[in-house]
Structure 1
Amino acid sequence: MFSQGHSGANAYARVGVQTGVMGASPHRLVVMLYQGARQAVAQARMHLQQGNIAARGEAITKAISIIESGLQPALNKDAGGEIAARLDALYTYMSHRLLEANVRHSEEVLVEIDGLLATLEEAWMAIAPEAAKMAAA
């Protein structure tokens, strides 16, 4: 009985995310990627604390996937120059550290990666007005 209601709620949430993605600006999509990665890291921390190894691994895999399949490919290395190159290196570092966190059961590393993602998300949000101006032009 509960599983049907829960799957309905999950389906509703997926539709909400899909709708948000379809209507989002490129700038907003990057924000959503940062938020998704941070949420996955938070889930990994929770599962680590609860001793739920499989769920922790899934959450870490999701965070790595968001970084490697979402954030890194979004970089424009030609136009972004040194900043894009440094972000690319940072994303690679974060992916490696997340793998290490999974193998070593390290909450400290998860906290480190969440801090890096939070800093990047905050910086990205700070340029929102400029991104809106560029999109309007």
Structure 2
Amino acid sequence: MSVLRGANAYAAVGLESGILAASPYQRIVMLFDSYQAAIRTARLHMQVGDMAGKGKAITSAIKIVSRGLRGSLDMERGGEVAANLDQLYDTVVRLLLRANLHNDEEVLDVAASLIENIGSAWRQIGPRVEGEDGDVASAGG
């Protein structure tokens, strides 16, 4: 096993352990952070003309939104907030698809900004809500 492969395996185990040990609030924060990292990566690939890398990074961002953030919504308990977030996440996915198709950094920036606004709000309210019932992901993640 190469040193690089060993380091990657170690990092993957560390990330998985971190996710398993994280609270529901922390897992959502990790999704927001991972999303922004994927957007930054997509932007860099777009700027240097690496279309395969750009596509892979945008696909990663789409999965984070559609499977992670959107998948964490509890439409019954989250009510109108969850419904609004669901619509916003749908809009973000559409923007990401358009940015990928047209190599449009401005659209990518809009998609990044929309999620960052939600992420900022989540970071501000999360610690207060987390102590209440321990399951903030159901509130609308």
Give the % identical residues.
40
Q: Which runs of 5+ in 2 are unaligned?
A: 135-141
**1:83 to 2:81 alignment:** yes
Distance in 2 between residues matched to 1:116 and 1:77, nearest whole Å: 20
Select 1:111's aligned residue among 109, 112, 125.
109
Select 2:120's aligned residue among 111, 115, 122.
122
Q: Which runs of 5+ in 1 are unaligned?
A: none
Deviates more, 1:110-119 or 1:57-66: 110-119
Select 2:66's aligned residue among 65, 68, 72.
68
- Structure with the greater relative contact order (CA < 8 A, sep ≥ 6): 1 or 2? 2
Alignment length (residue pairs): 134
**1:58 to 2:56 alignment:** yes
Distance in 2 between residues matched to 1:90 and 1:62, nearest whole Å: 18
- Report the CA distance between 1:78 and its aligned residue: 0.8
- Specify the alignment match of 2:139 in structure 1: none
Q: Give 3-state SS (helix, strand or coil) of 1:21's partner.
A: helix
Please, what is the CA RMSD of the aligned residues?
A: 1.4
**1:14 to 2:26 alignment:** no
The one-letter amino acid of 1:57's match is G
The one-letter amino acid of 2:6's match is G
The one-letter amino acid of 1:112's match is V
The one-letter amino acid of 2:69's match is L
- Report the CA distance between 1:116 and its aligned residue: 1.2
Q: Give 3-state SS (helix, strand or coil) of 2:22's partner.
A: coil
